[in-house]
Amino acid sequence: MRFSSLFLPLVWVTGALSLKSGKLLASRPKGEIQGEPLDKRMYFLDYMPQFNFIPCACAKCGTTAMLNFIYSRAMGHDWPYSVSADHKDIHNIFAEWWKHVEEPQFELVWDKDRQEELMNSAFSLAVIRDPMERLISAFKSKIQCAVGPHRGDPGREAFVKQLRELQGLETDETCLELTDFLEALANIHANGDAQYLNDHFLPQNLACFYTY
The arithmetic mean of pLDDT across residues 13-26, rounded, is 31
pLDDT exceeds 80 at position 89: yes
Query: pLDDT tens digits for 144-161?
Result: 987 766 666 788 999 999
Contact (CB, 8 A) for 125 and 18: yes
Residue type, 178: L
pLDDT exceeds 70 at position 16: no
Where do the H-state alpha helices sit in the chain?
A: 3-7, 10-14, 63-75, 83-86, 112-119, 131-138, 156-167, 178-190
Sheet containing strand 107-109, edge to edge, reads 28-30, 42-47, 107-109
The arithmetic mean of pLDDT across residues 110-136, rounded, is 92
Query: pLDDT tens digits for 176-196?
Result: 999 999 999 999 999 999 989
What number of CA atoms fall less than 13 Å from residue 196's CA on the CB side?
Answer: 18
